[in-house]
C-alpha cells in the first residue's frame, strides 16, 4: 500500500475551504506551488495551487460550465470532459511531480483546494489512482445565507442572490453525490473556527495523514496563529437575502442534511437518500424555472447570434480595401488610365497577362 495521500478540499467558495487547506498545509501537507496570491477577499491566502486553478478554468471553458453553476446538467458537461485521456495524462504527470516535491519536503501528502474542483472529481480520483495515491475529500460547510452574503460582498452583485443560492444548492448536493462511496468528511466552517483541533485531528485519523498525526507543537501553534475567527465576517440570515420561499425551503433542507453529515456517524444511508430526493427536487424546480424563462433564453440567443453576425460582417468589411468598399458602378466611372495610376500609387498594381481581359475580375 502506497503512502501517497491526496486530500481534496471541496465545497462552495466562501465556506472555509482556504482555512482548511491552509491548516493542513501548516501541519505538513504539501500545497503544490506556486499558489494563488492572497488578496483582500482572502487576506490569509487561498491555499490554491495556480496550476490547478488554471487547469480548472480551461476545463470549465471547454465544457461551458461556470464556477458557480446552477444547472443540474453542468455536472454531466464537466464530467464528460473528465474522461479525456489527454487531460488525464497531464494531471497524472503533474501529480507525480507534486508527490516527488512533497516527498522531498517530508511526506508524500498533498492538499488540493479549489472551489472549481468539485466539477472534476472523477478526473482527480482517476489520476490519483494512476499515481498509486489514496484520495480523500473534505467538504467544507457553511450556512447558505452566509455563503451567499459573503459572495455578494466580495465577488460583487453580478449574480443575484437567487442565482447564487441555486448554484450553492447544486454545488453542495452535487459534491455530496460525487464524493459518495469515497473516503470523505464534512466539516462545518463554524467548528473549524471554534476549535480546529477536533475536526482536524479526526481527519488525520480517518484519512491516515502522517502530516497531521505527527504534527509537532510548533506546527500546532502555527495553526492557532493562522486561523483567525474574525475572518468570518459575514453572518447573515434569510431576512437579509431576498430568495423565493420555495428555493429557500430547498436550500434550508439541503443545509440541514449536510449539517447532519458533519456529525460523527452522520453519513448514513438515510441522509444520502435525503440528498437524492433533494437533488431530484432541485432538478425539477430548476427545470420549471428554465421553462418559465424560456422566452428570455431564446431572445438572448437570438440577440447573441445577431451580434455575432454583425461582428463577423464588420470584421470582414474591415479586411477589405477602401476601393473595394466603393460600389462597382462608381468605380466604373473612373477612367481606366486614372484607375491604373491610382492602383500604382497605392502599390496595388495588377499583374499583366491574358487574364486581364475586359470585364475580367473586379475593377
Partner 1 sequence: MPDIASLEGDSAYDVTWPWSRGEELVPGLTCVFRVRNEARNLPWVLPPIFSAVDHVLVVDNQSDDGTADVARKVAEQCGAEDRLTVLDYPHPVARAGGDHLATPATSVRSLTHFYNWCFSHVRTTYSMKWDGDMVLTPEGAGILRDLAWQLQSTRAIVAMPRHPLTVVDESTGWLDLSLRFLEPWVYPMGPEFTFVKAFDWELREFPAGVERIVLPEGLCVEVKWLDADEYAHWRRDGVDFTNTRLYRKLREFEVDEAIRNGDPTTVQGLVKVTAPEGVHIIDHVSRDWLWRQPRPLVRHSLPAALRERVKA
> Any contact of residue 71 with partner 1 (CB under 8 A)?
yes
Cβ 338 to partner 1 shortest distance, Å: 59
**Could you tell me the sign of the dihedral formed by the alpha carbons of 327, 329, 333, 339, in that order?**
positive
CB 288 within 8 A of CB 281: no
> Any contact of residue 130 with partner 1 (CB under 8 A)?
yes
The residue length of the chain stands at 363
Among 231, 281, 283, 363, binds partner 1 (CB under 8 A): 283
> Any contact of residue 75 with partner 1 (CB under 8 A)?
yes
Total chain residues near partner 1 (CB under 8 A): 25
CB 201 within 8 A of CB 23: no
Piece in contact with partner 1 (CB under 8 A), picked from 25-33, 150-158, 177-185, 294-302: 177-185
Q: Give the relative orientation of helices 144-155 and 245-261 as an angle to the nearest 10 degrees.
A: 110
Longest dimension (CA), the chain: 93
> Any contact of residue 331 with partner 1 (CB under 8 A)?
no
Angstrom distance (rounded) from CA 63 to CA 90: 17
Nearer to partner 1 among residue 88 and residue 153 (C-beta): 88
> Any contact of residue 84 with partner 1 (CB under 8 A)?
yes
> Any contact of residue 70 with partner 1 (CB under 8 A)?
no
> Any contact of residue 353 with partner 1 (CB under 8 A)?
no
Query: Cell numbers of 164, please?
Result: 447564487
> Any contact of residue 122 with partner 1 (CB under 8 A)?
yes
> Any contact of residue 208 with partner 1 (CB under 8 A)?
no
> Any contact of residue 82 with partner 1 (CB under 8 A)?
yes
Q: Degrees (nearest 5) of the Cα angle 91, 93, 98? A: 90
Give the torsion through C-alpha atoms of 247, 291, 57, 178, to 10 deg.
Answer: 60
Piece in contact with partner 1 (CB under 8 A), picked from 29-37, 50-58, 79-87, 197-205: 79-87
> Any contact of residue 90 with partner 1 (CB under 8 A)?
no
Amino acid at each position: 500500500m502506497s503512502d501517497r495521500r491526496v486530500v481534496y478540499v471541496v465545497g462552495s467558495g466562501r465556506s472555509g475551504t482556504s482555512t482548511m487547506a491552509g491548516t493542513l498545509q501548516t501541519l505538513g501537507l504539501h500545497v503544490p506551488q506556486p499558489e494563488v496570491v492572497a488578496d483582500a477577499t482572502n487576506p490569509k491566502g487561498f491555499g490554491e495551487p495556480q496550476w490547478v486553478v488554471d487547469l480548472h478554468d480551461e476545463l470549465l471553458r471547454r465544457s461551458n460550465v461556470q464556477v458557480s453553476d446552477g444547472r443540474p446538467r453542468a455536472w454531466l458537461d464537466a464530467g464528460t470532459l473528465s474522461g479525456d485521456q489527454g487531460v488525464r495524462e497531464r494531471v497524472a504527470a503533474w501529480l507525480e511531480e507534486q508527490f516527488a516535491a512533497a516527498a522531498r519536503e517530508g511526506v508524500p501528502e498533498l492538499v488540493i483546494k479549489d472551489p472549481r474542483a468539485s466539477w472534476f472529481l472523477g478526473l482527480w480520483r482517476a489520476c490519483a489512482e494512476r499515481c498509486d495515491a489514496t484520495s480523500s475529500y473534505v467538504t467544507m460547510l457553511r450556512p447558505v445565507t452566509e455563503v451567499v452574503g459573503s459572495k455578494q460582498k466580495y465577488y460583487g452583485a453580478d449574480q443575484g442572490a437567487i442565482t447564487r443560492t441555486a448554484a450553492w444548492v447544486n454545488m453542495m448536493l452535487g459534491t455530496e453525490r460525487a464524493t459518495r462511496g469515497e473516503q470523505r468528511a464534512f466539516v462545518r466552517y463554524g467548528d473549524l473556527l471554534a476549535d480546529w483541533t477536533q475536526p482536524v485531528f479526526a481527519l488525520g485519523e480517518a484519512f491516515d495523514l502522517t502530516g497531521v498525526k505527527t504534527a509537532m507543537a510548533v506546527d500546532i501553534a502555527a495553526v492557532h496563529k493562522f486561523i483567525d475567527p474574525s475572518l468570518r465576517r459575514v453572518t447573515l440570515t434569510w431576512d437579509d437575502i431576498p430568495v423565493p420561499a420555495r428555493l429557500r425551503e430547498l436550500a434550508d433542507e439541503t443545509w440541514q442534511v449536510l449539517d447532519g453529515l458533519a456529525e460523527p456517524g452522520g453519513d448514513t444511508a438515510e441522509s444520502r437518500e435525503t440528498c437524492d430526493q433533494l437533488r431530484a427536487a432541485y432538478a425539477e424546480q430548476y427545470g420549471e424555472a428554465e421553462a418559465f424563462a424560456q422566452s428570455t433564453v431564446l431572445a438572448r440567443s437570438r440577440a447573441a447570434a445577431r451580434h455575432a453576425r454583425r461582428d463577423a460582417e464588420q470584421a470582414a468589411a474591415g479586411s477589405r480595401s477602401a476601393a473595394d468598399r466603393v460600389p462597382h458602378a462608381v468605380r466604373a466611372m473612373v477612367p481606366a488610365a486614372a484607375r491604373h495610376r491610382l492602383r500604382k500609387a497605392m502599390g496595388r498594381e495588377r499583374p499583366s497577362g491574358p487574364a486581364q481581359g475586359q470585364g475580367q475580375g473586379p475593377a
